[in-house]
């Protein structure tokens, strides 16, 4: 199944290079990638669509793995960087930085996105403690409350300053359009570190699913696993938000799409999400380009439109 997923990802990467405000023949795409053509549509492929596709793969992988780790650490199937409030915290911190310091480039957002994601993750975790144990229901409710509060604060800052509104509104929609590789480069070390941390704790997440007491009886250091797993989610989600803005539902959907195919073992689930996340994001990005030609819809809007019904279905299934 992983091989099939890789093939599907390659297909959508090719579509991402070929489709846009106008279609480019695959032969031109191949020549542009091979370096045998350097004008016209070939320049569009190498200058705009290749960086966009690479960034889409990186951000999709970060969000997919972050969602799987968040669900494993919290034992909550509805957990994701969005539902835990991490995306909202990172977004508020970035908009506050734009309002206060006049930032204008996504490359400047990274430290503020990381700080906002970290503070929100700690706050959500603190709100979820019940008798010394993690309560998944309280965690989801706490994340929802934080998301509502931080989103309202973000809107207030944007309404208070036209300059902040102009700078932040496109970024807040969640988009990989117009992004260049120099935007991805500063966050790449954090993204890689987050992936390494996630895969390091993946075997222990299987034991954590049995409950804290059972995991401790098996010799799993529950507190340390939660700290490392939470750090992985913050690094991955913060990196993604810094580059592309708050892209919703990739982290929630990817694990639920992978589990029926690969099972609940996190040693397989995480590699599956590493593929499914970019696949979902590129598919949404391509769809946003095709349905609104000659314009396009930001990928964050497409994922939100498709992800809201998914969240309702998953919530109903979990309630049952």
User: Does the pLDDT value for residue 132 go beyond 80?
Assistant: no
> Do the Cβ atoms of 225 and 201 come closer than 8 Å?
yes
Residue 124 banded pLDDT, cuts 50, 70, 90: confident
pLDDT (0 to 100) of residue 131: 60
User: Does the pLDDT value for residue 77 go beyond 80?
Assistant: yes
Q: Tell me, what CATH number does 227's domain have?
A: 1.10.3470.10
State the average pLDDT over residues 108-132.
Answer: 83
For residue 295, what are the domain limits? Answer: 57-72+79-319
> Residues 138, 199, 263, 251: is their CA dihedral positive or negative?
positive
Is 51 within the bounds of a domain?
Answer: no
pLDDT (0 to 100) of residue 133: 65
φ/ψ region of 75 (left if φ > 0, alpha if ψ in -120 to 50, else beta) reads left
Residue 294 banded pLDDT, cuts 50, 70, 90: confident
Q: Percent of the chain, pLDDT > 70?
A: 95
φ/ψ region of 40 (left if φ > 0, alpha if ψ in -120 to 50, else beta) reads left
Residue 139 banded pLDDT, cuts 50, 70, 90: confident
Q: Percent of the chain, pLDDT > 90?
A: 42
Is 197 within the bounds of a domain?
Answer: yes
Residue 315 banded pLDDT, cuts 50, 70, 90: low
C-alpha pair distances (Å), 263 with each of 257, 268, 269, 271: 10, 8, 7, 12
Beta bridge partners of 130: 133
* Maximum pairwise Cα distance, the chain: 65
Is 36 within the bounds of a domain?
Answer: no
Is 64 within the bounds of a domain?
Answer: yes
Rounded Cα distance between 176 and 240, Å, is 10
pLDDT (0 to 100) of residue 180: 85
Q: How many structural domains compose the chain?
A: 1
Is 145 within the bounds of a domain?
Answer: yes
pLDDT (0 to 100) of residue 61: 96
pTM equals 0.91
Residue 319 banded pLDDT, cuts 50, 70, 90: low
Is 236 within the bounds of a domain?
Answer: yes
Is 9 within the bounds of a domain?
Answer: no
Mean pLDDT of the chain: 87
Is 178 within the bounds of a domain?
Answer: yes
Among candidates 207, 246, 188, which has minimal Cα distance to 63?
246
pLDDT digits (tens, 9 = 90+) for 222-242: 888 888 998 999 999 999 998
CB atoms within 10 A of CB 6: 12
pLDDT digits (tens, 9 = 90+) for 43-52: 888 888 999 9
pLDDT digits (tens, 9 = 90+) for 150-168: 999 999 999 998 888 888 8
State the average pLDDT over residues 298-316.
Answer: 78
Provide DSSP, the chain.
-HHHHHHHHHHHHHHHHH-SSS---HHHHHHHHHTS--STHHHHIIIIIHHHHHHHHHHHHHHHHHHHHHHHHHT-TT-STTTTTHHHHHHHHHHHHHHHH----GGGSHHHHHHHHHHHHHHHHHHHEETTEE-HHHHHHHHHHHHHHHHHHHHHHHHH-HHHHHHHHHHHT---TT--HHHHGGGHHHHHHHHHHHHHHHHHHHHHTT-HHHHHHTT--HHHHHHHHHHHHHHHHHHHHHHH----SHHHHHHHHHHHHH-S-HHHHHHHHHHHHHHHHHHHHHHHHHTTTTS---HHHHHHHHHHHHHHHHHHHHH-
Residue 317 banded pLDDT, cuts 50, 70, 90: low
pLDDT digits (tens, 9 = 90+) for 168-221: 887 888 889 888 888 898 899 999 999 999 999 999 999 888 887 888 888 888
State the average pLDDT over residues 32-41.
Answer: 80
């Amino acid at each position: 199944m992983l091989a099939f997923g890789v093939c599907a990802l390659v297909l959508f990467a090719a579509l991402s290079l070929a489709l846009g405000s106008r279609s480019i023949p695959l032969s031109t795409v191949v020549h542009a990638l091979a370096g045998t053509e350097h004008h016209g549509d070939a320049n569009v492929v190498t200058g705009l669509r290749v960086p966009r596709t690479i960034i889409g793969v990186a951000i999709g992988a970060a969000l997919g793995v972050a969602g799987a780790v968040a669900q494993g650490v919290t034992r909550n199937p509805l957990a994701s960087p969005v539902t835990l409030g991490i995306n909202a915290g990172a977004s508020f911190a970035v908009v506050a930085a734009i309002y206060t310091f006049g930032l204008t480039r996504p490359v400047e957002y990274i430290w503020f996105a990381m700080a906002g994601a970290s503070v929100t993750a700690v706050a959500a975790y603190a709100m979820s403690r019940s008798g010394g144990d993690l309560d998944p229901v309280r965690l989801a409710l706490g994340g929802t409350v934080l998301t509502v509060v931080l989103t309202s604060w973000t809107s207030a800052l944007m309404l208070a300053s036209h300059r902040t509104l102009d700078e932040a509104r496109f970024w807040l929609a969640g988009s990989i359009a117009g992004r260049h590789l120099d935007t991805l480069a500063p966050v790449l070390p954090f993204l890689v570190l987050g992936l390494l941390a996630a895969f390091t704790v993946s075997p222990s997440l299987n034991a954590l699913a049995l409950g804290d007491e059972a995991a401790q009886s098996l010799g799993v250091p529950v507190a340390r696993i939660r700290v490392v797993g939470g750090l992985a989610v913050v690094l991955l989600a913060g990196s993604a938000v810094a580059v592309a803005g708050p892209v919703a539902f990739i982290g929630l959907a990817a694990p639920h799409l992978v589990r029926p195919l690969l099972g609940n073992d996190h040693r397989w689930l995480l590699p599956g999400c590493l593929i499914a996340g970019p696949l979902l994001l590129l598919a949404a990005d391509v769809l946003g380009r095709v349905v609104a030609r000659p314009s396009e819809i930001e990928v964050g809007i497409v994922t939100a439109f498709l992800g809201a019904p998914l969240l309702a279905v998953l919530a109903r299934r979990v309630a049952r």
